[in-house]
């Protein structure tokens, strides 16, 4: 049976894509769930950003790196998720240029997030394994430089990776009304190595070293607990805090692996990676859902984040001198 004109993205156009269609009830459920995820992602990451930027006690090198990660996660909820929600039941009619720009922004945010997690793992490694030199090796100035480098390098790397698509926008589209980018196997393999395998390998090795040192310190503390002076007990408290921070950020890495493995599955099995912005692909949403889970992990494991949320929600941050409030 011949398709109706209304079934196409552009009527009376031979190369028009077929308009996505789903039952009304199913579409409403999808819109509600995805919109809720987007809203929660924006709100929670905004709370992280406000907390770290407002309270002076949180102006540490580690939190500056977490700030960068939260900014990337906020942009996912604010820019990327709404686009994908709109095109669940709509055609892509913004043109090929905006299509490739959308993917560049998407990949830049992802790359900067990965870079932030690598830098955070290095920070935790130095804090646990070389605490005596931590304050000299890790400074706020160096953390700011690393944050800037992560975003600049992510931009240059992604523009280089998608150079063909920038030169020939829409080269992967099979019809008018879709936004598809197909990354060939070689480029996908390079992306897999530099954006996934190398960073995750570095992170896992550093965290394994961190946990080995942490367990070693814990055994030493239990063996000599009676001999500690008051000053020594304070050092133990600091060490426990550092170890807890390492566990929390380790959980962030585990969640990242779970969320991004399905996206890289085609490359792992030797196929090209095809990403379609005009459809709500499960692997894309799972990867972006990681941006919603990060601040949830902070809320469960970081007492300072819960304290900051209380100050923000009750508008105590508007009071004079609130920036100096102790939240740790």
Mean pLDDT of 189-207: 84
Choose among 153, 155, 191, 193: nearest CA to 275.
191
What pLDDT band is residue 237 in, cutting at 50, 70 and 90?
very low
* pLDDT one-digit tens code per residue, 106-116: 889 988 988 88
Percent of the chain at pLDDT > 90 equals 22
Alpha-carbon distance 213 to 95, whole Å? 54
Q: Which CATH superfamily is domain 20-324 in?
A: Rhodopsin 7-helix transmembrane proteins (1.20.1070.10)
Contact 151, 70 (CB under 8 A): no
Q: What count of other Cβ atoms lies within 10 Å of the Cβ of residue 66?
A: 28
* pLDDT one-digit tens code per residue, 240-261: 665 666 676 677 778 877 887 7
Alpha-carbon distance 251 to 245, whole Å? 10
The mean predicted confidence, pLDDT, of the chain is 79
- From 3-7, 196-200, 217-221, the region with the lowest mean pLDDT: 3-7
Residue listed under structure tokens 């304070």? 234
Length of the chain: 328
Alpha-carbon distance 21 to 321, whole Å? 55
* pLDDT one-digit tens code per residue, 270-319: 665 655 555 446 777 888 888 888 888 876 777 888 889 999 999 999 88
* pLDDT one-digit tens code per residue, 70-91: 999 999 999 988 888 877 766 7
pTM for this predicted structure: 0.82
């Amino acid at each position: 049976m011949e398709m109706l004109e209304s079934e196409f993205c552009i009527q009376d156009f031979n190369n028009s894509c077929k308009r996505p269609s789903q039952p009304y009830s199913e579409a409403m459920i999808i819109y509600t769930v995805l919109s809720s995820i987007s809203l929660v992602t924006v709100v929670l990451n905004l709370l992280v950003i406000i907390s770290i930027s407002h309270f002076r006690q949180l102006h540490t090198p580690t939190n500056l790196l977490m700030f960068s990660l939260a900014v990337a996660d906020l942009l996912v909820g604010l820019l990327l998720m709404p686009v994908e929600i709109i095109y669940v039941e709509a055609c892509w009619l913004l043109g090929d240029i905006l299509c490739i720009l959308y993917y560049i922004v998407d990949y830049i945010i992802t790359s900067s997030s990965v870079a932030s997690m690598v830098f955070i793992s290095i920070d935790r490694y130095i804090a646990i394994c070389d605490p005596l030199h931590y304050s000299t090796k890790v400074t706020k100035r160096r953390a700011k430089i690393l944050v800037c480098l992560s975003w600049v390098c992510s931009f240059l790397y992604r523009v280089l990776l998608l150079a063909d698509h920038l030169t020939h926008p829409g080269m992967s589209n099979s019809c008018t009304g879709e936004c598809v980018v197909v990354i060939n196997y070689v480029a996908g393999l390079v992306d897999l190595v530099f954006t996934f395998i190398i960073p995750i390998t570095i992170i896992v090795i550093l965290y394994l070293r961190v946990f080995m040192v942490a367990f070693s310190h814990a055994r030493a503390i239990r063996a000599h607990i009676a001999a500690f002076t008051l000053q020594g007990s304070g050092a133990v408290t600091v060490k426990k805090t550092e170890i807890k921070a390492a566990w929390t950020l380790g959980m962030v890495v585990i969640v990242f692996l779970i969320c991004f493995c399905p996206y890289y599955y085609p490359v792992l099995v030797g196929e090209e990676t095809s990403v379609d912005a005009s459809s709500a692909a499960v692997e894309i949403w799972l990867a972006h859902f990681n941006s919603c889970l990060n601040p949830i992990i902070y809320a469960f494991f970081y007492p300072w984040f819960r304290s900051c949320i209380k100050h923000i929600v009750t508008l105590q941050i508007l009071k004079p001198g609130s920036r100096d409030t102790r939240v740790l």
